[in-house]
Structure 1
Amino acid sequence: MRSCAALLTAAISALAILVLTAAPANAHAVLVASSPEDGARVDSSPAAVTLTFDESVRLVPGAAQVISMTGDRADSGSAQLSTDGTTVVIPLKPHVPQGSYAATWRVVSADTHVVSGSISFGIGQDAGAPAVAPADRSGSLTRTADIAGGVVDVGLVLCAGLALVCRILWPWALGLVRIRMLIGCGWVIIGLATVTQFLMQGPEALNLGWSAAFSTDALNETLSSRTGVVLLVRVVLIAMLGIALRRPQRGWTGVVAACTAGVTVTVVICGHAGAGEQMWLATPVTAAHVVAMTVWLGGLVALLVAVLPSGRTDNLRRWSSTAFACISVLILSGEYQAWRQVQPVEALWSTGYGITLTVKLSLVTVMLAVAYIGQRRLDPKVLRRTVPAEMVLGLAVLVATTALISQAPARTTFGPPVSLTAPLDSRSARIHIDTTRRGPTSISVTALNPQGRPTAAEAVSGTLSSDDAGVAALKVKFEPTAGGEWRSTYAVVPLPGSWTLNLTVEFSTSDAVVTSAAFRVW
C-alpha cells in the first residue's frame, strides 16, 4: 500500500514538473500580419487577401470572405491554407472596383479555440470610409425619363386601349374623326416618349448632362445596354402597330392586340418588374396588369367621346363584362405586385414607395365604387355622370403610377432606425442605430448609470457579427462626442439578416464590461 502511494506521489510530482517547466502556449491564434494591411489604402485591386497567424489554424468552411460596403462579395472561390497552416489566402475577383472592403474570418486555432476577426482596406480610397459619390449631373435626365415612362402609359390608353375596344365592341366609332385623331395622337405619344427614353438612357448611365444626349459615347452606351435593345424592339413594335391600326379589317385586330402586348412587355421589362427576384413571373403578371388598365381606361375614353354622346348604347353589357374582367385582372395582379415590392408590410406606410402605392390603391378603390354605380344599371343617364368621374380618377391613377415608376421599391429602401438597450452589470448601454438598411450606418452608444442617467466611459469598442450572413466579426470604431455619447466613425452592415452588436465598455483600467444587442437588417 505504501509502495503504491509512493508511486502515485512520484507520478504527480513528475507531471507537475513537466507542466511548470513547459513553454507557455498561446491561448488563441493571433493575426500577426496581413496583405493589404489593416487600414491600408491600395491603388489597384490585389489578387488576394492574405492573413498570417502566429500558429497553425484550421479553416471553417465558408467563413473567410471579403465584402464591400454595399454587401457585394469580392472574393472568388474558397479560401486556401498555406502548407504550414499559418497563412490564409482569400482570392479576389479580377478588377475589384474602387471602394472600402472588409476581410472577415473565423478559424480554429491549435488549442481548438474559435478565433474570428476582420481587417479593412480601401481600393482607390481610404479604408473604412464610404465612397464619395460624384456630382449628380443627370438628375433632370432621370426625371425626364421617368415622366416619359408615364407618358407611354397614356399613349397606350389612347392608342391601343381605345382602338381595341372600338374594334371589338363599337366598330362604327372608328369612323369618327375624333376617335381616329385620339388613336393617332396616342401612337405619336408612344413613339415620342420611347425616343425620349432612348436618348436619356446613355447620358443618365454615364452621369452626363443634356448636351451629351446625341453624343457618340452616350449612344454607344445605350445600344450596348439591355434597356437600349428593349427600346429598339419597342420602336419596331410601334411601327408594326401603326401599320395594323390603318387596317380596319377584322383580321388585323389580332395584330393590334399582339403589338399592344409586345409594347407592354417592353414597358414592363424597363420597370421594376424587370429587376429583382421572380422576374419570370413578375414580367407576365405586370404586363397583364398594364394591358388590363389600358383596355379599361381605353373603354372609358370610347364611352366618353363616342358612345354616350351619340346615344348609341349597343354592347353596353359586353362592355360591362369586359370591364369586370379587366378589374379582376387588375386586383389580382396588383396584389402580387404589392407583395413583391412592399416587404415587410411596415414599408407600406414608412417608405415613399409604400405611401404612393397606398394613394394609388385608394384612388383605384374610389374608381371601382364609381364604376359599380354606373355598371349596376347600365343606364345611359347614370353613365353620363359616372364615366367622366371614372376618367378623372383614371388619370389620377396614371399620375400615381408614374410616381411609382420614379421611386425605388419599398423592399429596397425599408430600414427604419432602431434603439436598443444592453445590460452593463448594474448599468446599461443605450444604443441607437440610424438605419437598419444594409450598407453604411451610424451607431451611437451612451453608458447609463443605475439611475438611467449618462455616465462617463473611458473607451468603447465593438464588432458586428451575423450567423445569417456568415460574418464573424466586423470591427466598429467609436469616438467620444458631447454628452457622454460614443459614435461610430464608420460602420457597415453589408448583408440582410439577424446581426449582433458586441460591445466592450471600459469605465476604468479595472472596470470593463462586455455586452451585446441583436437587431434585424433588411
Structure 2
Amino acid sequence: MHLGSPPARTSLTVLALVAAVLALLLGGAGSASAHAGLRGSDPAEGSVLATAPQQVTLTFTESVGFSDDSLRVLSPENERVNPRPAQHADGKDNTARVELSDQLAQGTYTVAWRVVSADGHPISGAFIFSIGKPSGTAAVVATDSLEDTAAARLYGFLRHVAYSGLALLVGAVSFVLLCWPTAAAVRPVRWLLKVGWAALAASTAALLLLRGPYETAGSLTSAFDLSQLGRTVTGRPGIALVVRLVLLAAAAVLLRRSALRLDGHKRPDRPDRPGLPDEGTIPGGLGTRARVVGVLLALALAFTWAGAEHASAGIQVPLAVPVAVLHLLAMGVWLGGLITLAVVLRRRAPGSGDVPASAIGRFSTVAFTAMAVLVGTGMYQSWRQVGSWGALSTTPYGRILAVKLAAVVLVLVVAFFSRRWTARLDHEALPAAERPTVPEPERARVVETVGAPPPPVPSVTGGTPDVPAGAEPGDDTEPPAPETERHRRRLRRTVAVEAVLGAVVLAITTLLTGTQPSRAADGAETAAATAPVPQAKVVTVPFDMGTANQKGSVQITLEPGRVGENTVEAVVYTADGGFATVPELRLTLTQEDLGIGPLDAKLKNQKGYWATYDLQLPMAGAWTLNITVRTTDIDQVTVRETIRIT
C-alpha cells in the first residue's frame, strides 16, 4: 500500500502550503468586523446641550445584546438617571437606547456601557455630555481591561479546555474509524476517548455557568444566580452551549453502545482477549451506521462554536460558518489523531503488538489531508479577519496570528519528517507482506540444490535449528528488522514533537478567538474618525498659588470649538472638586504659529461661572489659552493650555 508522496514531492507540497499561508495576507479589501465597535451616540461625546435630553442612544458597528445594567447614565453626583434598562432603538439590533428621568439638573453626565457583540464577546466604554454647562462629576467608571476579572480569566482557560477536549474526542474517533479499527479495543485509546469527552462536557457546563459573569463583569459567585442563568440560555452563546451538552450526551450513548458491542466480540482463536478483531476488519458496533452518526455529531459539535463566535458576525457569514466548522474538525482529526498515534506507538503492555505500518500510513494520508484543509480554511479566515500585512504588526490580533503562523510552519517542517519515516516504514513492510507468495518457489529450489549432498545431516541432527531454518517458512520473518525498529523510534519522536507543537497552535488559536479581529479594530477606528465632530471643546487646567488653600483648576469650554463665533464658559474648582468663586478670571488666546493674538475673551462673571458668547476665532490650528486666576487682591497666577480649533 502506498502511503504518500515521495520525499521530493512531499517537500514541494509542504513548501506550497507554506507559501499559501504567507500569501493569504497579501490582499483583502472591504469592511468586516467580528467584535462590535461604537459608531456614534446621541447626545454626542463631549457635547453641551441647552436642554436636557429625553433619552440616550448608542449605535454600534454590529448587532449587540445587553443585560439590565448594560447602559447606565450617571449624574454629576454619581446617581443613576435611567430608571429602565436598555432596549433596541426602532427595532435595530445594532443600537441601545435608555430613557432618562425628567427634570435633569445642569452639569456633566457620564454614560457607561457594556454590551455583547454578535460573536459573543463583551465590549465596553464610557463618555460624557453636559446639560447647560459642564461641571465636575463624582461618577466613577471602571477602566480595567475586560479580561482582568476572575470570571473572564477562568472563562478563557475553560475555552482552551473545551477545544482540547474536542480535539481528543474527534481525533481518537477518527483514528479508530479511518486508520486502525483494532485500536477501538486498545485501553489507552479508550482512555483518550473518555478524557476528551469528560473535558469537553465539564468545560461546557462550566462555561454555561460563567457566561453571565463573563458578560457582565460580575463575581464568580454570581454564576449560580438563576435569573442570570436564565438570561444566558436565551442568548446565542448560551443556546450553543446547551446544544453542545445535548450532543455530548448523545455521543456518550453512542460510545457506550459501541464499547459494549466491541467487548462482546470474541475472536475464535483468542477467546482470552475480547474485543480484538482481525487486523483491518471493522469491530462490531463500528459499522456504517455508527460512522454516519459519528460524522453528524462531530459536525454538529463544531457548529456550536462556529455559530456563536467570530464566523457568525461580519461579512460572508453563510460561507464563514461552514468554513469554521471544517477548520475545527480538521484541527481535531490532525491534532487528536497525532496524540492517539503517539500513545499507541509508545504503549508497552504485555502481549501488545506494534502498530501496523498500514495503519500508520493511513493516518499519514488522513493527517496530510486534514492539514491541507486547515491551511485552506485558515487562509480564508485570516483574510476575513486581518486583510493586510500592516495589521500583523499594528493590531493585537495580527501579532498573535503572526506567532501562530510561525508555529504552523514549524509543524509543517516536523510533519515532513514524520511522513518520511512513515514512507520508509511502508517500504520495509511491503517486502514482508509479499514473502508468503514469492519465497515459496525459492525455498523449493534451495531444497533441490542443497538437499542431495547432505541428506544424512537432517536425520542425524533432527532438531538442530540450522537446518529447519531453511525449511520453516516463518523463521525468515521472526526476528525484528533493525531498520524497521529504527524508523519506528524516529517516528515516535517526530510525532511527539508534532503533537506538542500542535498543542501550542491550539493554545494560540484559543487566544485568537478571544481577541478583537484586525478588521473590527480598523472598523471601530474608521467609525470613530467618521463620527460627528463633538459640539464643544473642553479642557481642564490646574493652578497652584503656592500657598495653603490656593490650589484648584479651571475648566474651559469652547462651543463649538471651530473657526468663527464661539461661546466660552469657565468654571473654577477647588482642590477637592467643589465650586470656587474668584474675584477675577481672564482668558486670552494666541495662535503662535501665525502670530495671531493675544485675543481677549472678555469673560464676564455670571454668578457662579464666567462666560462670553461672541468670541471670534479667525483661523484653525493649535491655540494657546492663557488663563489668569486671581483669588485675592494680591494673589493671582497665570496658567497655559493648548487647544485645537477646527
TM-score, structure 2 normalization: 0.50
Q: Confirm or deny that 1:386 pairs with 2:446.
A: no
For residue 417 of structure 2, what is the amino acid of its counterpart? I
Shift of 1:72: 9.1
Verify the 8 A CA contact 2:58 2:97 in the aligned structure 1: no
Residue 254 of structure 2 aligns to a residue in which SS?
helix
Shift of 1:206: 3.4
Residue 618 of structure 2 aligns to a residue in which SS?
strand
CA distance in structure 1 between the partners assigned to 2:224 and 2:376 by the alignment: 42
Aligned to 2:304: 266
CA distance in structure 2 between the partners assigned to 1:72 and 1:365 by the alignment: 34
CA distance in structure 2 between the partners assigned to 1:41 and 1:325 by the alignment: 66
Q: Confirm or deny that 1:352 pairs with 2:396.
A: yes
Q: Structure 1 71/169 Cα, relative in aligned 2: closer, same or farther at 3 Å?
A: closer
For residue 413 of structure 2, what is the amino acid of its counterpart? A
Residue 389 of structure 2 aligns to a residue in which SS?
coil
Residue among 386, 395, 405 paired with 2:513? 405
Unaligned runs of 5+ in 1: 1-36, 47-66, 74-91, 102-119, 416-434, 440-463, 483-487, 492-500, 517-522
Aligned to 1:181: 191
CA distance in structure 1 between the partners assigned to 2:211 and 2:156 by the alignment: 11
Verify the 8 A CA contact 1:40 1:121 in the aligned structure 2: no
Aligned to 1:96: 97
Q: Confirm or deny that 1:319 pairs with 2:379.
A: no
Aligned to 2:252: 242
Shift of 1:201: 1.0
Shift of 1:122: 5.8
Shift of 1:384: 1.9
Residue 619 of structure 2 aligns to a residue in which SS?
strand
CA distance in structure 2 between the partners assigned to 1:331 and 1:213 by the alignment: 38
Aligned to 1:203: 213
For residue 280 of structure 1, what is the amino acid of its counterpart? P
Residue among 280, 286, 308 paired with 2:324? 286
Verify the 8 A CA contact 2:178 2:362 in the aligned structure 1: no
> Which one has a larger percent strand, Structure 1 or Structure 2?
1
For residue 266 of structure 1, what is the amino acid of its counterpart? T
Higher mean displacement: 383-392 or 310-319: 310-319
CA distance in structure 2 between the partners assigned to 1:72 and 1:296 by the alignment: 34
Aligned to 1:513: 619
Map Cα deviations across residues 356-392 of structure 1 (whole Å, 9 max, x no partner): 1111111111001110122134143431221011011
CA distance in structure 2 between the partners assigned to 1:511 and 1:490 by the alignment: 14
Residue 146 of structure 1 aligns to a residue in which SS?
helix
Shift of 1:148: 1.3
Map Cα deviations across residues 463-518 of structure 1 (whole Å, 9 max, x no partner): x8x5xx7x5x5435164879xxxxx9999xxxxxxxxx9767852259933479xx
CA distance in structure 1 between the partners assigned to 2:362 and 2:500 by the alignment: 23
Aligned to 2:233: 223
Verify the 8 A CA contact 1:158 1:298 in the aligned structure 2: yes
Q: Confirm or deny that 1:159 pairs with 2:169.
A: yes
Map Cα deviations across residues 399-457 of structure 1 (whole Å, 9 max, x no partner): 11122122222222349xxxxxxxxxxxxxxxxxxx95644xxxxxxxxxxxxxxxxxx
Residue 276 of structure 1 aligns to a residue in which SS?
coil
Residue among 368, 377, 382 paired with 2:412? 368
Shift of 1:323: 1.4
For residue 279 of structure 1, what is the amino acid of its counterpart? V
When the two structures are aligned, how many residues end up with a matched partner? Answer: 361
Q: Structure 1 511/263 Cα, relative in aligned 2: closer, same or farther at 3 Å?
A: closer
CA distance in structure 1 between the partners assigned to 2:198 and 2:175 by the alignment: 19
Verify the 8 A CA contact 2:320 2:381 in the aligned structure 1: yes
CA distance in structure 2 between the partners assigned to 1:228 and 1:436 by the alignment: 30
For residue 363 of structure 1, what is the amino acid of its counterpart? A
Residue among 301, 325, 329 paired with 2:373? 329
Shift of 1:39: 2.4
Q: Structure 1 229/176 Cα, relative in aligned 2: closer, same or farther at 3 Å?
A: same
CA distance in structure 2 between the partners assigned to 1:122 and 1:197 by the alignment: 41
Residue 317 of structure 1 aligns to a residue in which SS?
helix
Aligned to 2:537: 477
Higher mean displacement: 206-215 or 182-191: 206-215
Aligned to 1:17: none
Q: Confirm or deny that 1:304 pairs with 2:348.
A: no
Q: State the Cα RMSD in Å.
A: 3.9
Verify the 8 A CA contact 1:374 1:383 in the aligned structure 2: yes
1:410-421 pair list within 5 angstroms? 410-414=518-522
Shift of 1:133: 3.7
Shift of 1:332: 1.0
For residue 387 of structure 1, what is the amino acid of its counterpart? V
For residue 358 of structure 1, what is the amino acid of its counterpart? A
For residue 212 of structure 1, what is the amino acid of its counterpart? S
Aligned to 2:201: 191
CA distance in structure 1 between the partners assigned to 2:135 and 2:317 by the alignment: 36
For residue 146 of structure 1, what is the amino acid of its counterpart? G
TM-score, structure 1 normalization: 0.61
Shift of 1:100: 7.5
Verify the 8 A CA contact 1:145 1:200 in the aligned structure 2: yes
Q: Structure 1 503/166 Cα, relative in aligned 2: closer, same or farther at 3 Å?
A: farther
CA distance in structure 2 between the partners assigned to 1:197 and 1:511 by the alignment: 57
CA distance in structure 1 between the partners assigned to 2:384 and 2:110 by the alignment: 31
Q: Structure 1 162/96 Cα, relative in aligned 2: closer, same or farther at 3 Å?
A: same
Residue 353 of structure 1 aligns to a residue in which SS?
helix
Q: Structure 1 503/175 Cα, relative in aligned 2: closer, same or farther at 3 Å?
A: farther
Verify the 8 A CA contact 1:350 1:414 in the aligned structure 2: no
Residue among 255, 275, 296 paired with 2:293? 255
1:62-211 pair list within 5 angstroms? 68=58, 93=90, 96-97=97-98, 133-134=141-142, 139-211=149-221
Residue among 375, 384, 393 paired with 1:340? 384
Verify the 8 A CA contact 1:158 1:183 in the aligned structure 2: yes
CA distance in structure 1 between the partners assigned to 2:173 and 2:557 by the alignment: 58
Shift of 1:240: 1.0
Q: Which has the higher contact order (CA 8 A, sep 6+)?
A: 2
CA distance in structure 2 between the partners assigned to 1:72 and 1:515 by the alignment: 35
CA distance in structure 2 between the partners assigned to 1:322 and 1:503 by the alignment: 68
Q: Structure 1 311/350 Cα, relative in aligned 2: closer, same or farther at 3 Å?
A: same
Identity, % of aligned positions: 29
CA distance in structure 2 between the partners assigned to 1:71 and 1:336 by the alignment: 22
Verify the 8 A CA contact 1:202 1:220 in the aligned structure 2: no
CA distance in structure 2 between the partners assigned to 1:162 and 1:229 by the alignment: 27
Unaligned runs of 5+ in 2: 1-46, 64-88, 101-108, 112-127, 259-284, 348-353, 426-487, 543-554, 565-589, 600-615, 623-646
Higher mean displacement: 301-310 or 334-343: 301-310
Shift of 1:394: 0.7
Q: Structure 1 269/41 Cα, relative in aligned 2: closer, same or farther at 3 Å?
A: farther
Verify the 8 A CA contact 1:166 1:173 in the aligned structure 2: yes
CA distance in structure 1 between the partners assigned to 2:134 and 2:221 by the alignment: 34
CA distance in structure 1 between the partners assigned to 2:227 and 2:359 by the alignment: 54
Shift of 1:172: 0.8
CA distance in structure 1 between the partners assigned to 2:557 and 2:518 by the alignment: 25
CA distance in structure 2 between the partners assigned to 1:160 and 1:228 by the alignment: 23
For residue 173 of structure 2, what is the amino acid of its counterpart? A
Map Cα deviations across residues 12-43 of structure 1 (whole Å, 9 max, x no partner): xxxxxxxxxxxxxxxxxxxxxxxxx9525737
Q: Structure 1 220/511 Cα, relative in aligned 2: closer, same or farther at 3 Å?
A: closer
